[in-house]
Chain A
Amino acid sequence: MKTANKRLTAERLVRDALEKAKHFADYNIFTFLNEEGAIKRAREIDARIARGETVGKLAGVPFALKDNFLSPEGQTTASAHILEGFVSPVTATAVAKLEAEGAIMIGRTNLDAFAHGSSTENSYFGPTLNAYDKERVAGGSSGGSAVAVALDIVEFATGTDTGGSIRQPASFNGIYGLKPTYGCISRYGVVAMASSTDCIGFLTKTPDDMDLLMSITSGQDPKDMTTLPDYYETNTHLATRIGIIKDFDNDSVDAEIREALRSKCDLLKSKGYEIVELEMPALKYALAAYYIIVPAEVASNLSRYDGVRYGFRSENSDTLDGLYLNTRSEGFMPENKRRIMIGNFVLSSGFYDAYFLKAAKARTLIVQEYEKAFDKCDYILTPVSPSPAFKLGEKLNDPVAMYLEDVMSVSLNLAGVPGLAIPAGKSASGLPIGLQLVGPRRSDKSLIEFSKELM
């Protein structure tokens, strides 16, 4: 990616990005444009370059920040009404690391409120449009971030992936999107969706950009006790055998996507790789387990939004219960409420064993299924989603159809393994098709490197 130097100033890079952002305003990508702040930062970097001082690895690189990352620049809303007006006094660890290397946040991007969704249609600010077809969804929940990169407004964007929220929008918009190993990047300062599956990651145009961003942001953080000890750079995983999952090779997956997968397999065979067919029957429980565990954690994590301390507070409540009811009824989107209700149901006394505990057991089976699979192969290549970008509104009133979007992505989050969405051509109607490379835990760097074999 282009970094600032004496001839190409940071201010130039930032102004170009801001201009493009405004040019594409009708895509509804940004919830906030950081014009003043970004230019100020750019000038500081240019001044340091002029003085001959060393600047970071991302000096002057404009980036887009998914609006669920906390930083004092602009409101952090998570595209939710209930966080309207909230300006964070703290900065997320990942953002601080990017900014320490000179990256400049030019705007905050739209998402499904609290990252609940697969289309960015659940946003309080309305949907973001697909970079290739304005009548189609951007994917989600990191839809704004994906389109900002796909339209070349910024060099990269941050994302969060709880069940596919980076990989699916990346594949809908023809770019790279990485969900790293769970615990690779600190979650500190990122609005929580489901703590045990949330991963911080990036959307980029190239594997090398992805690698650079990972080397900067990965690592153990005392502020997040679930982060793993530093491992990213030390990883060298040599691949010879690539697995494909037989269970996904059926009519439920779009023919063009299956064809794209076959052609990539042929490419790999021609390069001398062995293709291994895998049976992973436990994965059929993934979606059900996911939509129990995740809503439970969602319901819990959203408990703090009560209108008492920050964000939106409903007017005209004369009792405490009234304040809670009105604030939460008015402040959450329908999909938020759906997940809060499911989550509280599966946790309630008498149902915990039947739902949450059973889902936790299914999760263990899925973890083991991946461990077994990686005994037989080094990486797995699968579709990201059953179809390319769908029409706006097509699945909005059918929550189950929307949840099925995640059928091939959620198992990675339950298992904690990394997955990289890569571009794999276009459909006959010109929509991007994406595939997903899956590796064992801690294989992130090698996985990114390996993706170049599929270019």
Chain B
Amino acid sequence: MKYIPTIGIECHVQLCTKTKLFSEVNNDARGKEPNSCVSPVDYSLPGMLPRLNGEAIRMAILAGRAMNCEINPRSRFDRKHYFYPDSPKGYQITQFYEPIIGAGYVELPSGTRIRIEHAHLEGDAGKLTHFDSYSLVDLNRVDTPLIEIVSMPDIHSASDAHDYCKELWRLMCFAEVTYGDLYNGNMRFDVNVSLAPEGSDKLGTRTEVKNLNSFKSVERAVEYEIKRQSKILDAGEKVIQETRGWNDAKGETTSQRSKEEAKDYRYMPEPDLPPINLSDEFIEAESAKLPLMPTDYRQIFGDIIPNDTLEVLLDYPTLMKKLGQIEHEYTKKQSAITLIANLFASVLLAEEKSAEYLNDLPSAKDLIELVEMNNNRELSSTATKEVFLRLFDPQMKGRGAKQIAKELGLIQENDLEALEKIVDTVLTKPETKKAQDDFRAGQEKVLGFLVGQVMKESHGKANPSAVQDILRKKLS
């Protein structure tokens, strides 16, 4: 039988606030010793109380706006109870009843809209590392602010699931609310999949695959679940509602916990934190700080950057922002933007060190200067690429395109008088005599040899097409 899959996705995004959600401890534990970014509030001494981080509220507003969501003027926190050593309080502080972010939608590059049910703020858990006879607890990650984004079941294919997760990642990165490092778990996805026979208006029993941390694994896990559930349904059996884990190496999901074993979290209003009341003015003022989003860039650059280049560049927020800046500062240089976009996509991203380069881009001024040199034919297209890459080189950076081109001797000779002199010198040389005669006799192809001789004489700096023009004139 043919089945229609229905997919809903929950996504956890770690916010890149300076301090934690409920304490004044550094939230950036990258490369730090275990349990070094932990305060008495985080490891939950008796008598410690959470203090809400205002920056997390501001970021939640931006994240919500990035997804076209309503921001709720009133929200509050609840306690979600469970015992595990990654949860030093014995409960997670989350927003179960009144979340800060209301309904909205995310538009995929294909134009499909996925509705957002809501999104809420909560604290992350710590990390456990298991050994044979013991486990180690690292609480650095405790109460790193998270927003959990809950989609409506609007997704019906593995590829749309992939695209939705990727678009969410782009939105969060462009909104600058997360470092967006998937490898280190900055964004994690839980995927709910159910199948219903084609034409049925009832949804099937769903399974939830938890803790996926790449777009690819989301896509593969959905594909796997669709196949697995189809097989079960085809055999006339029933899908069990359960939580499943994803084994990336084997490419399969495995059963973890069924509904009967589901935990009772005993939700309760968090009495240590008063409700959050946001004025309309505050919400508006904070929303106005939302940077340009992928949709905005598609609108701005749709006519000047080819679509596939644009979609590639949208995976690199810093590059898009740079293009946006150039567009903003040099409004009349559309062709310049096309060239820079091309250089970004085909030269920079092909470079081995591009990842390092992305965080520290050359100034808009340097890039425009480079484009102008190219347009004035001061730089050949090969030389343009070379100077472009040098603009990122920590050794040469900041010297400007012109200076770098000069230092590397890449500037083309465009001065016609000077070029004529060089041409004359070459034409007086006896070894060019025969070629001159042949050309005059109508042999076009020897022109290449003569141009080559001029280039040699100019130590490669002559503009070859200008040289050609002069030669034709002189030999006619």
Residues in chain A within 8 A of chain B (CB atoms): 68-70, 76, 78, 83, 86, 88-90, 92, 187-192, 194-196, 222-226, 296-297, 299-300, 302-306, 308-310, 320, 324, 344, 347-349, 352, 356
- A195 contacts which of B44, B85, B137, B271 (Cβ < 8 Å)? B271
Docked-complex contact B272 and A300, CB < 8 angstroms: no
| Closest chain A CB from B263 CB (angstroms) | 10
The answer to whether the Cβ of B89 comes within 8 Å of any Cβ in the partner chain is yes
Docked-complex contact A225 and B49, CB < 8 angstroms: yes
Docked-complex contact B89 and A320, CB < 8 angstroms: no
Q: Considering only CB atoms, which chain A residue lies closest to B139 in the complex?
A: A309
The answer to whether the Cβ of B46 comes within 8 Å of any Cβ in the partner chain is yes
Q: Which among B43, B84, B272, B274 has the highest number of chain A CB atoms within 10 Å? A: B272
Docked-complex contact B40 and A191, CB < 8 angstroms: no
Chain A hits for B84, CB < 8 A: 320
Docked-complex contact B47 and A225, CB < 8 angstroms: no
Bound Cα distance A349, B266 (Å): 6
Bound Cα distance A230, B79 (Å): 28
Chain B hits for A88, CB < 8 A: 45-47
- A348 contacts which of B40, B50, B266, B272 (Cβ < 8 Å)? B266
Docked-complex contact B46 and A78, CB < 8 angstroms: yes
Chain A hits for B416, CB < 8 A: none
Q: Given contacts A304-B89, A306-B83, A306-B90, are A349 and B51 in contact (CB under 8 A)?
A: no
Q: Which among B85, B267, B271 has the highest number of chain A CB atoms within 10 Å? A: B271
Q: Given contacts A90-B40, A187-B49, are A297 and B83 in contact (CB under 8 A)?
A: no
Bound Cα distance A296, B264 (Å): 14
A-B contact pairs, 5 of them (CB 8 A): A89-B40, A192-B46, A300-B268, A306-B83, A324-B83
| Closest chain A CB from B426 CB (angstroms) | 81
Contact string against A for B residues 42-67, beta-carbon threshold 8 Å, 1 for contact and 0 otherwise: 01111111111000000000000000
For the A-B complex, the count of residue pairs with Cβ-Cβ distances under 8 Å equals: 100
Query: Chain A's interface: helix, strand, loop or mixed, by majority?
Result: loop
Q: Which among A68, A83, A303, A352 has the highest number of chain B CB atoms within 10 Å? A: A303
Q: Considering only CB atoms, which chain B residue lies closest to A77 in the complex?
A: B46
Which residues of B (322-348) have their CB < 8 Å from a CB of A? none
The 7 A-B pairs with the shortest beta carbon distances in the complex, nearest first, are A303-B90, A195-B271, A347-B266, A196-B271, A191-B46, A189-B47, A304-B44
Query: Chain B's interface: helix, strand, loop or mixed, by majority?
Result: loop
Bound Cα distance A281, B265 (Å): 35
Chain A hits for B402, CB < 8 A: none
Docked-complex contact B47 and A188, CB < 8 angstroms: yes
Which residues of B (55-97) have their CB < 8 Å from a CB of A? 79, 81, 83-85, 88-91
The answer to whether the Cβ of B273 comes within 8 Å of any Cβ in the partner chain is yes
Bound Cα distance A347, B273 (Å): 19
Q: Given contacts A225-B52, A324-B83, are A348 and B264 in contact (CB under 8 A)?
A: yes
Q: Considering only CB atoms, which chain A residue lies closest to B22 in the complex?
A: A225
Docked-complex contact A70 and B46, CB < 8 angstroms: yes
Chain A hits for B266, CB < 8 A: 299-300, 344, 347-349
Docked-complex contact A225 and B40, CB < 8 angstroms: no
Chain A hits for B91, CB < 8 A: 300, 303
Chain A hits for B137, CB < 8 A: 308
| Closest chain B CB from A121 CB (angstroms) | 22
Docked-complex contact B47 and A70, CB < 8 angstroms: yes
- A303 contacts which of B49, B51, B81, B267 (Cβ < 8 Å)? B81
Given contacts A89-B45, A222-B51, A303-B81, 16 further A-B pairs with CB under 8 A are A68-B47, A78-B46, A88-B46, A192-B46, A195-B271, A223-B49, A224-B272, A225-B50, A225-B272, A226-B271, A297-B271, A302-B90, A304-B46, A304-B90, A347-B266, A349-B265
Chain B hits for A89, CB < 8 A: 40, 45
- B45 contacts which of A70, A78, A356 (Cβ < 8 Å)? A70
Q: Considering only CB atoms, which chain B residue lies closest to A320 in the complex?
A: B85
